[in-house]
Amino acid sequence: MPKIEFTGHLRRYLDASALEVEGATVGAALEAVFAARPMLRGYVLDEQGALRRHVSVYVNGDRADLSGAVGPQDEIYVLQALTGGLGDA
């Protein structure tokens, strides 16, 4: 089963520990996570079910989208990019 891990930023606020789940695509694997931990859905997906603008998903180190295929030995990493910082001074 693919293993899904979430960035430390999400783990600070929600139960986002690593899980092994069923799923042949990134989207299906995420749906399995959301079934177990529904609060994560709103942080990862927007109202239309697409990845939020500042969320990236990687499979075995390569960027992927929700339709990306995954196998039983794959590792999926969900990263929520942080924005902001110092502007031009």
- How many other C-beta atoms lie within 10 A of the C-beta of residue 45? 18
Across 55-82, b (16+ Cβ under 10 Å) vs e yields bebbbeeeebebebebeeebebbbbbee
Band of pLDDT at residue 88, cut at 50, 70 and 90: low
Is residue 28 scored above 80 in pLDDT?
yes
Contact by Cβ (8 Å): 43, 12: no
pLDDT digits 0-9 by tens, 39-70: 899 999 999 999 999 899 999 999 999 999 99
Structure confidence at residue 87 (pLDDT): 55
How many domains does the chain fold into?
1
| Containing structural domain, residue 44 | 3-80
Domain membership of residue 7 (yes or no) is yes
What is the CA angle 43-49-55, rounded to 5?
40
Instruction: Report the CATH number that the domain containing residue 13 is assigned in CATH.
Output: 3.10.20.30
